[in-house]
Chains A and B, each alone.
Chain A
Amino acid sequence: MFADYTWAELGSIFAMQGFSGLILFSVLLLMALGLAIIFGQMGVINMAHGEFMILGAYITYLTSNFFSTFLPELFGIYFFIAIIFAFIGTFLLGAFVEWSLIRHLYKRPLDTLLATWGLSLILQQLYRTIFGTREVGVSLPDWMMGSYSLTDAIEIPINGMIVMGITLFITVGVYLFLQKSRKGKQSRAVVQNRAMAGAVGINTASVDRFTFALGCGIAGIAGATFTMIGSTGPTSGQLYIVDTFLVVVFGGAASLLGTVASAFSIGQAQSILEFFLSGSMAKVLTLLVVIVILMLRPQGLFSLKVRR
């Protein structure tokens, strides 16, 4: 298929293709980070993860409307403010959901699946009632939707760069938070030994609520970010749920590094396969490979061998 092209053309295509893989990696990672915290750290299966993402997207939509109506001169930078709002909004909803639902179900992980599925139905209908059944178009400042020409042939999409930037920022933030901050250490302590953490004076209930809400907040950021590349509608959240869970499980649930590695390998694999095969087959093949690897190595890519 490459016979008709010059080396320079091929080179630039492959450069852009590599970049596509990186964008896909960032998208997958950003989707999965919130879930990696909730599922990986707490063992809660949050089927409403996609709906939290879409809440972030709707908040971005509202913010964009607000700015274009009242503060049009600041429209160019509203997006970053929207992300903060999205985080706050989903964080609060997450805390509320933890308080009203999840905290009663920590001993029954499979039941969290059913309850959060019910929650996702309710949220979908809520969005439909409030925002209408149609998708909403989130208008973005023009500078974000353009591209940057590296050479004549290589054009780098700016929204892709922004997604990568946000992903990098959030990932590092989550890592530092879990490793360095007091709250993060407490959260890890609770994961490792709930009873002991409680005994040494950590308020496990508040740590749980914070951890869950944080995961939801990151989902909100992801949703806000994806308004640049995807659609915002009542049921758009469901598009993400399988990919998200697979990334987390494939990475080895309890490991942040694993999630990164898994998003990277799935992203690159799919991106390369899509280039050489038709889109649907690429997707099927990627999923199949992931499942086969999971069958051979059920603990995921990164997981410590521990005493059981």
Chain B
Amino acid sequence: MYQQKDFVLSVEGLTVSFDGFKAVNDVSFYIEEQEIRVIIGPNGAGKTTILDLICGKTKSTEGSIKFKGKELTKLKEHEIVHAGVGRKFQNPSIYEDLTVFENLELSYPRGKKVFGALTFNRDQEVIDKVNEIAEMIFLEELLLSKASLLSHGQKQWLEIGMLLIQDPELLMLDEPVAGMSVSERKQTAALLQKITKDRSVLVIEHDMHFVEEIADRVTVMHQGKVLSEGSMEHVQSDPKVIEVYLGH
């Protein structure tokens, strides 16, 4: 039903099996430029595994993942990042022993090789960029605190900030508002709206209100397969989805 047009990401026939158990089974979907796509589904549906496969954390058994026409399944994790894919983990994954500034700085796209890192110089350009991002993620006051001192929500933002500083074309977020207070959640939604202007975003989320707020399209997964796909209303009225969510 889709033409080969400006897809940023096309996933086709993607399958991975762990000792015979197919956690993701023949999944295909396509994401357009500047689209916000949300994947929903019950626990164990294979949502996180899909993100793992795209960013190279898990190697697929079959199928292809094309990002701007480039095959990702053969690349290593850091090559995928350099291609322009950023990924946030389910549990905030930041460097607790470093300051917020250092956390952001490490994601700055320069000095990514060994000797680059040895000779990396913290110049004004880096400082400015870090400040800019810190402002965006509401942490400009906390730049010099250790990351371990941040609240859960702030850690989530910091990780998002670390992705933003890389300026990826595809941003993948695994439950970005999990564990957040209501006000934090509102701030996060605003943040997401702001940052998705120039890029495509793939989000996994359970919170239906939040999904409604941000999603362009929704993909529903169940037992490793795509159950339904379309706008929020379309998905919500799909009998198969209702069956899965309410059937038992």
Contacts and interface: CB of A to CB of B under 8 A. Distances in A.
State yes or no: do A and B touch (Cβ within 8 Å). yes
Nearest to B17: A305
Contact residues of B: prevailing secondary structure: mixed
B49 A307 contact: yes
B57 A308 contact: yes
A307 B44 CA distance: 12
Contacts of A1: none
B47 to A, nearest CB: 13
B18 interface: yes
Interface string B29-64: 000000000000000000001001000011000000
A306 interface: yes
Contacts, number: 13
B23 interface: yes
Interface string B163-185: 00000000000000000000000
B19 interface: yes
A307 B19 contact: no
A305 B18 contact: yes
B14 to A, nearest CB: 15
Q: How large is the interface on B (under 10, 10 to 19, 20 to 34, 35 or more residues)?
A: under 10
Nearest to B48: A307
B202 to A, nearest CB: 19
Interface string A267-308: 000000000000000000000000000000000000011111
Nearest to B57: A308
A304 B23 CA distance: 15
Contact of A304 (B19, B49, B52, B58): B19
Contacts of B19: 304-306
Contacts of B18: 304-307
B60 to A, nearest CB: 13
A308 B16 CA distance: 13
A9 B93 CA distance: 67
A153 B198 CA distance: 84
Interface of B: 18-19, 23, 49, 52, 57-58
Interface of A: 304-308
> Which 7 A-B pairs rank lowest in CB-CB distance, beginning with the nearest?
A305-B18, A304-B19, A305-B19, A307-B18, A306-B18, A307-B23, A307-B49
